[in-house]
């Protein structure tokens, strides 16, 4: 016999409200509290067959949150691992994948060793230092001279990008001599590097191309008429 519905007292409903601060901690909050309770109910099922059936049902519910990944094998493995993690490793179910352990989950990764480079002239960057080290190992000849000239021009370009609007070639040659431990000596050379104006023009052109993504370019006044941009015309 079906019991007749009894209207609840509003005061009782308010008195019995559950607040998140009083509830148990959600292990993986992305799935919500209802799924957490489903897993807790499946954990206490005594019958093995019913418990495995409940576990598979919960996996289907978890996969429905990401239907485009539901049938991917790697994603299925992830769902099963999350199922055992959310059960606090208390669920006993037949998983098609190795069951994770609490010890493995709590393992900390090895500390990643970052290259600690503290160059004196940071505006040149680490790549310049690598190029200088390579040039030091080359035998004397035209190839090495050409490489050294390329390095010096690139150093001048980097210098102008982050420092003054002009720089003498002697300054670049001194820095090159210092960074190469005195092996690349252009101090007495009559070689001239690229013109400062050309390098500044190149830097400006590159900076315009590598602007912030998503920002539209400002149209010039020539392309605007009566408050509306002119349609694109092929030349």
Q: pLDDT at position 39, please?
A: 93
Q: pLDDT at position 5, please?
A: 58
Residues of the chain with pLDDT under 50: 1-2, 212-214, 216-225, 227-229, 232, 234-235
Q: pLDDT at position 224, please?
A: 45
Does the pTM surpass 0.75? The reply is no
Inter-CA distances, 34 with 18, 22, 38, 59, 77, Å: 14, 16, 6, 14, 22
Distance separating alpha carbons of residues 67 and 61, to the nearest angstrom: 10
Q: pLDDT at position 73, please?
A: 72
């Amino acid at each position: 016999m079906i019991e007749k519905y009894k209207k609840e007292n509003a005061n009782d409903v308010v008195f019995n409200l559950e607040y998140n601060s009083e509830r148990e901690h959600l292990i993986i909050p992305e799935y919500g509290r209802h799924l957490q309770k489903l897993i807790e109910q499946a954990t206490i099922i005594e019958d093995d067959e019913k418990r495995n059936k409940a576990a598979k049902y919960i996996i289907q519910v978890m996969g429905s949150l990401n239907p485009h990944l539901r049938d991917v094998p790697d994603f299925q493995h992830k769902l099963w691992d999350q199922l055992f993690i959310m059960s606090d490793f208390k669920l006993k179910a037949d998983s098609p994948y190795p069951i994770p352990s609490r010890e493995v989950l709590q393992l900390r990764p090895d500390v990643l060793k970052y290259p600690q480079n503290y160059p004196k002239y940071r505006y040149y960057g680490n790549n310049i230092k690598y190029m200088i080290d390579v040039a030091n190992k080359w035998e004397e000849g035209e190839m090495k001279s050409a490489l050294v000239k390329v390095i010096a021009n690139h150093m001048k370009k980097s210098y102008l990008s982050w420092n003054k609007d002009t720089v003498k070639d002697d300054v670049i040659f001194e820095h090159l001599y210092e960074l190469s431990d005195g092996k690349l000596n252009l101090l007495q050379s009559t070689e001239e590097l690229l013109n400062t104006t050309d390098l500044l023009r190149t830097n400006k052109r590159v900076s315009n191309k590598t602007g912030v993504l998503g920002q539209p370019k400002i149209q010039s006044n020539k392309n605007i008429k009566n408050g509306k941009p002119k349609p694109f015309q092929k030349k």
